[in-house]
Amino acid sequence: MELFLMTLTTGILVGGIYALVALGWVLIYKCSGVLNLAMGELTLIGAYVSLSFYSMGVPFVLSLAISLVIGFVLGVLTERIFLDKLIGEPVLTVIMVTVGLSFFFKGCIELIWGTDTQVFAPAVFPLEPIRIGPLIIGQVYLWSFVAAIILLVVFVSFFKYTRWGLAMQATADDEMAALSIGVSARFVYAAAWAIAFMSAGVGGTLLGNINGLNISVGYLGLLVLPAVVLGGLNSVPGAILGGIIIGILQNFCGAYLDRFFPGGVKEIAPFVFMAVFLLFKPYGIWGWERIERV
């Protein structure tokens, strides 16, 4: 029972970070109908920027804030340089461009920061775990989860209560109707990429504090895809729920199945679960069901 509770708790805490990264996937899909396959590299860029400033002696919170600003700028530049001319083009064309961006960003990361594992030194969060009854929880998991939830609340509030957020939702619901009332599609797409860069970067920074930072963290950004599909590709609440479910599933598989199937069942399980889940609910938990009458 103690192992079960610790695995469940750790899964929920890690799932909160996955939910933050999943938000970036959902934003771009909601606004443009495109799966951004460069999401893992966006996660890496934000994490390395935070690490670079932290290594210079900048306080962690300020380093994170600087990475948010830089992520916003990079998101706008990426959309303007690579994707702005593709508005109205087939979705597959845009998806293939994001594949190219993935390789481009990965090459830039390896050129600037290398491929060796780097850690936040000194440690950002206290190393001594917190004991709650029989549970032993690492503080890095706990505080990373708290930071992820705070940022999720900020982003969700942005979409619900601000003019820009409402404009993005309007474009996602009906692009032509949004354009007819004066909403700028170019602004919406640029803002979506900017916020995706920001949320993915923060998620990567928090994941880097847990396991160290190297090029494989980009795979963790791709690992969030099952969480996005599970919750619904265009649902912000679904991204949050999906992230937590995948975090729990991954930790349970690592705790109970790795002994029988050594070699990475923890990483494979979310994708297997996604494939099976889609057989029964193709649109995810809260995804929009599109019905076409012929």
CATH of the domain at 258: 1.10.3470
Cβ proximity of 4 and 233 under 8 Å: no
Burial bucket for residue 237 (CB in 10 Å: 0-12, 13-18, 19+): middle
Q: Give me the pLDDT at residue 72, please.
A: 92
Q: Do the domain assignments include residue 288?
A: no
Q: Give me the pLDDT at residue 59, please.
A: 93
Profile the chain (294 residues) by mean pLDDT over runs of 10 residues. 85 86 81 80 91 92 92 91 80 87 92 89 83 80 83 80 79 73 80 86 86 80 83 81 90 85 80 88 73 52
Neighbours of 19 (CB within 10 A): 33
Q: Do the domain assignments include residue 286?
A: no
Q: Do the domain assignments include residue 245?
A: yes
Q: Give me the pLDDT at residue 58, please.
A: 92
Q: Give me the pLDDT at residue 89, please.
A: 76
pTM value?
A: 0.85
Q: Do the domain assignments include residue 291?
A: no
Q: Give me the pLDDT at residue 104, please.
A: 93
Q: Give me the pLDDT at residue 289, please.
A: 61
Least Cα distance to 166 among 191, 147, 149 occurs for 191
Q: Do the domain assignments include residue 285?
A: no
d(CA 177, CA 268): 41
Q: Do the domain assignments include residue 189?
A: yes
Q: Give me the pLDDT at residue 84, please.
A: 82
d(CA 175, CA 172): 6
Cβ proximity of 203 and 17 under 8 Å: yes
Q: What secondary structure does DSSP assign to 56-97, as a single string?
A: TT--HHHHHHHHHHHHHHHHHHHIIIIIGGGTTS-HHHHHHH
Q: Give me the pLDDT at residue 51, please.
A: 92
Least Cα distance to 79 among 28, 133, 132 occurs for 28
Q: Give me the pLDDT at residue 220, please.
A: 72
Q: What is the DSSP letter of 289?
A: P
Could you give the number of structural domains in the chain?
1
Query: Which domain does 269 fall in, by range?
Result: 2-280
Q: Give me the pLDDT at residue 183, please.
A: 78
Q: Do the domain assignments include residue 287?
A: no
